[in-house]
Amino acid sequence: MFPRTEMLDLVVADGRARGVVTRDMVSGHIESHSADAVVLATGGYSNVFYLSTNAKGCNATAIWRAHRRGAYFANPCYTQIHPTCIPQHGEYQSKLTLMSESLRNDGRIWVPAAAGDARAANEIPEGERDYYLERRYPAFGNLVPRDIASRAAKAVCDGGQGVGQSGRGVYLDFADAISRLGKDAITAKYGNLFEMYERITGEDPYQIPMRIYPAPHYTMGGLWVDYNLMSTLQGLFVIGEANFSDHGANRLGASALMQGLADGYFVLPYTIGDYLSRHIGEGRLATDHSAFQRVETEVGDRLKRLLEVQGKRTVDSLHRELGNICIEFCGMSRRAAGLEQAIGEIAALREEYWQNLKLLGTGEEINQSLEKAGRVGDYFELAELMCRDALLRGESCGTHFREEHQSPEGEAVRNDEDYTHVAAWEFKGVSKEPAMHKEPLHFENLALSQRSYK
C-alpha cells in the first residue's frame, strides 16, 4: 500500500503498459513502479466542472495520462447531471452536496407557476404551483430518469421560475408525504438525509420544502475497454467509473456501485489472467530502463515548469473558470455555437494557465496547490476533448442533449442511422486534432426505440 502517493504518468514500452511513475505527496520524491499489468480504478472526471458532487481530491490525471500514452478515450461527452443536489449558495462554494435520489420516491417537485414569484414556499397556494414533472410526464411524474429531471429543472429555472437566492433551484416538497404517511415514517426513511440538509442550509425540510438543483455527478465516458476490461493499450486495465463501459449515454442510480463491484470483483479477477498468461516467465521491466527514466524526467520537468511560472492566478480561480465554461456550454444542454466557443475559450484558458499560474513553495514538501495544479492542467485537455465529442455527436442521446436535435415538446431526438457507435478518441498531441475511431454498436436482442415517460 502506498498512501499519500499520486500516479502522475504511465510507462509504456513496446506497446505495453509496464508500470507507473508516482510522486510522494509528502517528500515530493518521484519514483517508478514496475508492474506485470496496470489497473486503473481512479474514478470519473466530474470535477472538470469544478462544482460537482465528487470529493475534492477526485481527478482524471491517471486516465488522462494513460490517454496521452495511447489509451483511447470513449464518449467523453456523456456526463451525467444529477437532479437532486443542494443548490450553490455563494461564489466560495467548494462542491455541491448530493441529496440521495431516494428522496424522489416521496417528495414532489415544484416551482412557483409565475416567473419571479419571490414569496416563501409555504405562502404559495397549491393552485399557484407548477408540479412540472407531474405535468410534463404524467406516467412517471417525479420518478423520471435523471437526465429528464435535470433538463426539466434547468428549463423552468431558465424561464425564471427558479427559487432561492440564485434563482437556480426547485422545491422538493415532503408536505404531502408527511401528512399522508406521518412524520415518523418519513423520519425513519429519510431522517439522516434531512439532518444532512439542515446542517448545510440551516433550513428544516420537515417545515419548508427542500431546495435542490442539478449538479454534475457521474461520467459514463472514460477510457475505452474491451470485454476483458483492457484498454487499447496492452496491459492497461481500467475498471469502475474510470472506464466507459457498462453505461452508454445514460445511467441509473446505484449503477456506479454495481460497476465497481462487477468490474473489480466479478470480472477483472478472471479476465486479467488472459493477459498475464501471455507473459508468464517474462518478468517485469527494470525501473532503471530508459522507458521509466524518460517518464520520470518528463514528470519532474512538468512539475518544475508549473512552479516556475510565477504568474498571478491561483489554481482554484483557473479551475473555477474552466468549470463555468464547461457547465455553461457542455452541461445539461449543448449547441454547436456554444461548443465551438467553449473549445476556443478552454484553449485560451489553458494557455493562460501555463503563462500566469501562481504557485508558492517547492515540490519537495506537501504542496496542495501543486497537486491541484497538475490535475487542473489535465482537466483543460480533457474538457476540450469533451466539447469536441459533444460537437461531433449531432443528435440528442441520453444525457447528451443538443438543442438542435429536439422534438417540439423539448424531448431528445436521436439519430440512430448516423450515431449508433461509440466515439473512441485517440490523442495526437496537445494542440492537435484528436482522431476519432468509431466502434459500431450492434443491438442483437433489443430494438432501438424512443423513450417516453408521458
Partner 1 sequence: MRLTLRVWRQRNQQAAGRFETYGISDASPDMSFLEMLDVLNEDLLAGGTDPIAFEHDCREGICGACGLMINGVAHGPERGTATCQLHLRKFQDGDSICIEPWRSRAFPVLKDLIVDRTPFDRIIQQGGFISVNTGSAPEANLIPVPKAVAEGAMDAAECIGCGACVAQCPNGAAQLFTGAKISHLALLPQGRPERAQRVLKMVRAMEDHFGSCSNFAECEAVCPKEISIDVIGRMNREFATALLIGSNESANS
User: Closest separation between CB of residue 89 and partner 1, Å?
Assistant: 5
Q: Give least dist CB 150 to partner 1, A.
A: 20
User: Which residue in the block uniquely carries the three cell numbers 508558492?
Assistant: 360
Q: Please state the closest distance from residue 53 (CB atom) to partner 1, in A.
A: 9
CB 190 within 8 A of CB 103: yes
Q: Which amino acid is at 358?
A: K
Rank residues 193 and 413 by Cβ distance to partner 1 and give the closer one.
193
- State the minimum distance, in angstroms, from the CB of residue 270 to partner 1: 6
Three cell numbers at 247? Answer: 453505461
Instruction: Specify the pairing of strand 210-219 against strand 79-85.
Output: antiparallel
Closest CB to partner 1 among 22 and 47? Answer: 47
Question: What's the closest the beta carbon of residue 259 comes to partner 1, in angstroms?
Answer: 15
Of 77 and 357, CB closest to partner 1: 357
Residues engaged in binding partner 1 (CB under 8 A): 1, 3, 26, 55-57, 89-90, 92-95, 97-98, 196, 199-202, 265-266, 269-270, 314, 316-317, 358, 360-361, 365-366, 368-369
Least separation in angstroms between residue 407's CB and partner 1 is 37
| Rounded Cα distance, 242 and 251, in Å | 14
Q: Specify the residue, 201 or 406, whose C-beta has the smaller distance to partner 1.
A: 201
Please name which of 445, 424, 451, 421 lies closest in space to residue 147, comparing C-alpha atoms: 451
Which lies closer to partner 1 via its Cβ, residue 314 or residue 420?
314
Q: How far is residue 268 from each of residues 229, 238, 247, 284, 302, measured CA to CA in Å?
A: 7, 9, 17, 20, 33
CB of 27 to partner 1, least distance (A): 9
Nearer residue to partner 1 within complex by CB, 92 or 443: 92
> Cα separation of 131 and 330, whole Å?
27
Give me the phi and psi of 353, to 5 degrees please. Answer: -55, -50
* Closer CB to partner 1, 70 or 167, in the complex: 167
DSSP 57-113: T---HHHHHHHHTT--EE-TT-EEEEEEEPPP-STT----PBPPGGGGGT-EEEEES
